[in-house]
Chains A and B, each alone.
Chain A
């Protein structure tokens, strides 16, 4: 006894962005336990004031490279909500495809490049090129499918240029749509064949119940539209998002924090899985079963498994969207965009890979942005990560500093935090 743990993990590696963990334990009692985001703040909400509605998605896309499609789709949805525009079936299908592209890129990167190295005791994916070449090749292929879909639908996956208010300025050919179907079928087969890689990971046995928040639209595994569902309080209109996020700034973290009924909640793949499990595709459900993943799952480390399940669902959904498009008259026409600005407020809520993302804009009658508000998933998860750490530390306090550091880093990485969004690696500081 009398052991003092003093950990300071600066710039946690293998996460998107810059974050630190500080832990201070004296005689088994936590004196301080913090997860701080130390990214340079970038002021997007200020930068888009005064800009034209056609530029909002182009600019906010740059909030985050890995969620750029999600930021664009949330931005477009906010503008369309403000102007009272509704989308054609063609446009909805194209957005589902572009979104599937981003999930493939993002979830694959997280599962294989950021999370898995921990379980095989590697510092990164690079040594795996020698030791587990087949896994690396498999991962790169999955990621590439995402980028290739992005190229076809959006012009590119990172900061696409074809996605615009009301309609894409580009349409895929029938041949391209068939290629997408082919890739997604291959991806599904590969993912189903490789389930054992994930099923064999020994994830820490740590559970803590929390509030799970996601989009909600009965009948669908809601990603691009819907209301908001909380596992504590049920359904709420997307318009009441401020109520469900309650943002506040804290001193050591440039990303804002959020709370709802409890002092923290979780968004992301696990929250979606818990709330919307019944609407996953059959293939996705059968993979969940093979991974022993059932709702309600309260082990945050299993967020990575939920992402894997989602990839199967996304592949099924992309195939469906592509088939719907193929059934339409070919070649698909670029739809005319007639957008009349309306003064007022619009809200877009989209499930990006890391969780629910909100954009809200107030427009003047000429279609220029007066004010903007973006609420980012990593900011919403911030307090929940800290609460998990507080619950986890007493269970692992007898381990070595190195083991504690690794488990805390793995926990943070499981949330797949994208800190560039929230403003940006992680430093773990353990003070015993």
Chain B
């Protein structure tokens, strides 16, 4: 049997996920190349193929003119994976959705606000069917390798659907609420090893929410810790733009 062909594409993004995907130890890369055949990776390759078995798409869609390209990629792919927060949940790009277009255009191109096309930033599933996702901003390298192997073997991607708090407790961290910070850990999907609270930070939600998150409970906790409505919303806006129940 020939190896499945894998392609990477990107739209509006920082390309940090593609970068994280190639953050492999030599042995890891060689092993991965035993099971897949990378045929399209603009950042690292100049070859081009026509059909792909597995396509990983990074980035959110912010221009109407990008939609035909996205659909074309979909039509040429058996499986599409939303790769990283921008593609999966709109990512940081969606922060501009909370401002009026005239405002943000003028802030960046004061003299020529209408020179370039831009629209609301959306996740790719707003336009095409998505078969799987790898969450995170950026994605976690080990999770990427694991999920790709899952897919190649025809298994469901092995991505946790419990909250970050679970991993945080496993690591025996002191909850950052005790330290005077606020954290979205209770409603955010684990899988990062509670990276931020474990490194002196707090979870700001880059992996998106767990299925059926208790947003009311989360807001209650944040209120108990004296966050104002605006402060709470500011935290949610960073990565949860596409959770209708939040806003």
List the interface of chain A (C-beta within 8 A of B).
11, 13-17, 39-43, 45-47, 49, 51-52, 55, 58-59, 62-66, 68, 105, 109, 113-114, 123-126, 129, 136-137, 140-141, 143-144, 147, 154-159, 161-162, 164, 168-170, 249, 251, 254, 334, 371, 420, 424-425
**What separation, in Å, do the CA atoms of A315 and B138 have in the docked complex?**
26
**What separation, in Å, do the CA atoms of A154 and B10 have in the docked complex?**
26
**What separation, in Å, do the CA atoms of A161 and B12 have in the docked complex?**
22
By Cβ-Cβ distance, the 3 closest A-B pairs, closest first, are: A65-B16, A169-B200, A155-B199
Inter-chain contact A155/B116, CB cutoff 8 Å: no
Inter-chain contact A14/B45, CB cutoff 8 Å: yes
Contact of B63 among A40, A51, A55, A64 (CB under 8 A): A40
Inter-chain contact B44/A125, CB cutoff 8 Å: yes
With a cutoff of 8 Å between Cβ atoms, the chain A residues found around residue B209 in the complex are none
With a cutoff of 8 Å between Cβ atoms, the chain B residues found around residue A59 in the complex are 92, 95, 238
With a cutoff of 8 Å between Cβ atoms, the chain A residues found around residue B12 in the complex are 39-40, 42
**What separation, in Å, do the CA atoms of A156 and B199 have in the docked complex?**
9
**What separation, in Å, do the CA atoms of A51 and B104 have in the docked complex?**
14
Interface residues of B, count at CB 8 A: 58
Inter-chain contact B14/A62, CB cutoff 8 Å: yes
With a cutoff of 8 Å between Cβ atoms, the chain B residues found around residue A159 in the complex are 16, 137-138
Inter-chain contact B199/A162, CB cutoff 8 Å: yes
Pairs across A and B, CB under 8 Å, 27 listed: A40-B12, A40-B63, A41-B116, A41-B118, A42-B62, A43-B104, A43-B107, A47-B96, A47-B99, A47-B104, A55-B234, A58-B204, A65-B18, A65-B19, A68-B16, A113-B44, A126-B45, A137-B26, A143-B23, A144-B26, A155-B199, A159-B16, A161-B195, A162-B200, A249-B112, A251-B115, A424-B15
A420/B13 contact (C-beta < 8 A), A43-B107, A170-B199, A254-B116 known: yes
Inter-chain contact B200/A371, CB cutoff 8 Å: no
With a cutoff of 8 Å between Cβ atoms, the chain B residues found around residue A136 in the complex are 26
Inter-chain contact B23/A147, CB cutoff 8 Å: yes
Inter-chain contact A155/B26, CB cutoff 8 Å: no
A43/B118 contact (C-beta < 8 A), A125-B44, A162-B199 known: yes
Inter-chain contact B201/A161, CB cutoff 8 Å: yes
Contact of B118 among A40, A126, A164, A169 (CB under 8 A): A40
Q: Is there a chain A Cβ closer than 8 Å to B245's Cβ?
A: no
With a cutoff of 8 Å between Cβ atoms, the chain A residues found around residue B18 in the complex are 65
Contact of A124 among B41, B108, B118 (CB under 8 A): B41
Inter-chain contact B115/A334, CB cutoff 8 Å: no
Inter-chain contact B201/A114, CB cutoff 8 Å: no
